[in-house]
Amino acid sequence: MHFIPEALDTYVVNHTEKEPELLERLTRETYQKILQPRMLSGPYQGRVLSMLSKLISPKHILEIGTYTGYSALCLAEGMKKEGVLHTIDINEELEDFQRKYFDLSPYGHQIYQHIGNATEIIPSLNIKFDLVFIDADKPNYPKYFELIIDKMNPGGIILSDNVLWSGKVIEEVAKDDLSTNALLTYNKLLVEDKRIETVLLPIRDGLTISRVL
């Protein structure tokens, strides 16, 4: 989704750091073998995630929604040397695909995969996180926030993807459109919750940065 003219968007991409070769390979194989490849973060947003992680220099990262592992590898680029990334996905069929690319990276030994329902897995993680990336099923976004907010270190960052939902958040919404209605609730929650400060960026399909106070 382009929020600026396509020619200007192309200029932005051309003047942004290029993705590592391993991520190019991951992208190609995802498009060749995996359903819904548009779920990939993509090279531009991936560099945004990488830069944010490098600025934060997190020790503990949580990702909710692994897909084929692209965003996890981007986030891992900014981890401290002793850092750990936990990533959760409900689709067990993608576990081996993810692990192949994790192990081809320098961060394989620092990335822990969890397969199952994130609402059940998150409470079992006895960890305080510096960085969380939410990019899973939209109806559960508000629930994910409530599950992680007390697991955040002060100054920790919560990144939320797809918060503009192809522009549907400013259109008339049907009552049975669970994803859009959940995102409307979630975006309102983030801007009103006094435990965080939030800025919503019109990057690709919308990326919110929330800082824990």
* 60-93 residue pLDDT tens: 999 999 999 999 999 999 999 999 999 999 999 9
Residue 16, classed as helix, strand or coil, is coil
Enter the pTM of the model.
0.96
Q: How far apart are CA 170 and CA 120, in angstroms?
A: 32
Q: How far apart are CA 74 and CA 85, in angstroms?
A: 11
Helical residues (DSSP H) of 132-177, grouped into ranges = 141-148
Residue 1, pLDDT score: 61
Residues 6+ apart with CB under 8 A from 160: 134, 135, 141, 186, 190, 207, 208, 210
Residue with token string 């399909």: 205
* Residue from 124, 145, 121 nearest 133 by CA: 145
Which band of pLDDT confidence, cut at 50, 70 and 90, is reported for residue 154?
Answer: very high
